Amino acid sequence: MINECAEGARKLATVSLEVITGGQHRSGAYIAAPSYPPYAYAWLRDGAFCAYAMDLHGHAESARAFHSFVTRTVLRHRRLFDAADPAVEEMPPARYTFEGRLEDNAGELWPNFQLDGYGTWLWLLRDHEQRGGALLSQDRAAARIVSRYLQRTAAVPCFDCWEELGNRRHTSTLASVIAGLRAAAELLREDAPSRAADSLRERLLRLHVACGSFVKFEGSSAVDGSLLWIALPFGVVDLHHPLMVRTAARISDELVGSTGGVHRYLGDTFYGGGEWIVLTAWLAWYRAATGQRDQAARGLAWIQASARPDLLPEQRTEAAQYPEMVTPWVERWGPVATPLLWSHAMYLVLCANLDR
């Protein structure tokens, strides 16, 4: 399946499948990063894209196990999803233990109220079914719980996909919720999720745009690499929509670093604000989908060159925006997370789409 990527890509793709398989707990959960203690949990967002990559590469049983993990976890914590007016700290979390339990808060507090993972899971559950995966009645029961939760909370400010800025309404988060509600409408054959998705899309087009492009959050004028999600894979707007074209152009112009990778956003200081594997893969995916295959191939090559030696990190810091901030993070949490399962997953997604 990795024809265009040549022998080096075949090796890294094989390693990537092994890393994701090795990082899947017997419960079906995927660990975010096996050798980086702060990430020794199962994020719904990271796990969803790992399952997506496994589905794309013919490992449906791995994706199925992940869906079973999420279903059990949602049903176990139904009271969190059904609460009428919970405090932010009582919202369903972005990450769980591998057994699907809430983490204890004995360690460093984590900004856990995020909506993108739940929207992404609903979108993926529908995608899995469309690829021939069988869904159980409990999967649909969990999907209904999550759908109703997102319909109530979609416009509530929450932390973004980077666990930052908890007082904002984030554009990529909103895109994932829209995609999730659209998927729920199909999965459950209900009209309410579709109506909610349409209303949210109208809000996105009205309030999350500036300078002719989508922006990082409502009221901002900046871009974020995660804005590519709006078109790929969520399809909230078409790849060729003028706003999407302008957004991708701004990401290319403003966020591609000196070595060729993509920064999360300008002003990022986490490990100095380096160039991220997942976002470089996303921009290359967008370029491949819009016929810019040479540029997509350069993104692929950059990712391959980032392997240390065969494992992909979360980010590269050679071209960090704030080099003086690399060491403080290393001293606090250790070296950059390597391997990051999400990085390997997005490499596999890119390879699959280049082969098309």
Q: Catalytic residue positions?
A: 160, 163, 314
Torsion of CA 215, 217, 223, 225, to 10 degrees: -120
Residue 74 to residue 100: CA distance in whole angstroms? 8
Residue 97 to residue 239: CA distance in whole angstroms? 36
Residue 340 to residue 277: CA distance in whole angstroms? 9
The beta-strand segments (E) located in the chain are: 42-43, 95-96, 209-210, 213-214, 262-263, 275-276, 315-316
Contacts made by residues 91-97, CB under 8 angstroms, sequence distance 24+: 91/153, 91/158, 92/118, 92/149, 94/43, 94/44, 94/45, 94/159, 94/163, 95/32, 95/41, 95/42, 95/43, 95/44, 96/29, 96/41, 96/42, 96/44, 97/41, 97/42
The one-character DSSP state at 93 is P
Query: Quick one: angle between helices 116-130 and 44-56, nearest 10?
Result: 20
Residue 344 to residue 325: CA distance in whole angstroms? 25
**In sequence order, what are the beta bridge partners of 315?**
276
**In sequence order, what are the beta bridge partners of 95?**
43
- What burial class does residue 267 get, using C-beta atoms within 10 Å of its C-beta: 0-12 exposed, 13-18 middle, 19+ buried? exposed
Main-chain phi, psi angles of 209, to 5 degrees: -130, 140
Report how many helices (DSSP H) and strands (DSSP E) the chain contains, helices first. Answer: 13, 7
